[in-house]
Amino acid sequence: MHISDGIISVPVCLAANAASVIIIYQVGKKTEPEDIPKMGMMGAALFVASLVHFPLAGASIHLGLFGLAGIILGKRAFPVIFTALLLQSLIFQHGGLLTVGVNSINMGAGAFVAMFLWRWRQLPEYVRALLAGFAGIIVPVMLMAIEFQLSGYGRGIVYLLSIYLLAALVESGITLSIVKFFRRVKSDILP
């Protein structure tokens, strides 16, 4: 799901990087000291999850945990996702340095939608957890598909979407399991 350098035009990448810095600044201004350990824990989880790859239909995918990040951190998921993606790009060449802003906005959008789904109290908690986990993956993939089409790099995008649809279903189950675990141990990590 990481977009490599050279696919999206340089002006779009620079604009996305600038927008990412602005979002990080805005979110950072309102970060409470008690949020920092949660942010560090979630950043470590995002980073480690990206190291475990699963072969699926001729591609290699890994967990994102963006829905879980949206549940636990809310808006504060964005700087955590940005940092994890920057480190992945620098250390493992996942994505690119120029596209770290585009990738952060895509994946941060998944966390942002997950945050809103989690806060939708009319639904039972298990449904909200499933939807948040699903949205955490499917929203970034849909944004990436749009960006690929606009960049003229759209061949095979339907195939990519079908792979990540399955990944989103798996991620929704994992998100539900983690939420149930935190509730069972009466952790105050969940809002």
Segment 105-156, tens digit of pLDDT? 999 999 999 999 999 999 999 999 999 999 999 999 999 888 888 787 766 6
Residues 147 and 36: their CA atoms lie apart, in Å, by: 32
Confidence (pLDDT) at 155: 66
- Residues 9, 98: contact at Cβ < 8 Å? no
What are the boundaries of each domain within the chain?
A: 10-184
Q: What are the backbone dihedrals phi and psi of residue 185, each rounded to the nearest 5 degrees, phi first? A: -90, 5
Query: Who contacts 115 (Cβ-Cβ below 8 Å, separation ≥6)?
Result: 70, 71, 74, 75, 77, 132
State how far the Cα of 84 lies from the Cα of 80, in Å rounded to an integer: 6
Please tell me the distance from the alpha carbon of residue 69 to that of residue 45, in angstroms, as a whole number: 9
Per-residue pLDDT at 174 exceeds 90: yes
CA gap 50, 54 in Å, rounded: 10
The predicted pLDDT at position 156 comes to 66
CATH T-level fold of 10-184: Arp2/3 complex 21 kDa subunit ARPC3 (1.10.1760)
Round to whole Å and give the CA distance between 158 and 160: 5
- Report the pLDDT value the prediction gives residue 160, as an integer from 0 to 100: 75
Query: Among the residues of 119-156, which ranges form H helices?
Result: 125-150
Average pLDDT, the chain: 90
| φ, ψ dihedrals at 7, nearest 5° | -95, -50
pTM: 0.91
CA distance 94 to 2: 6
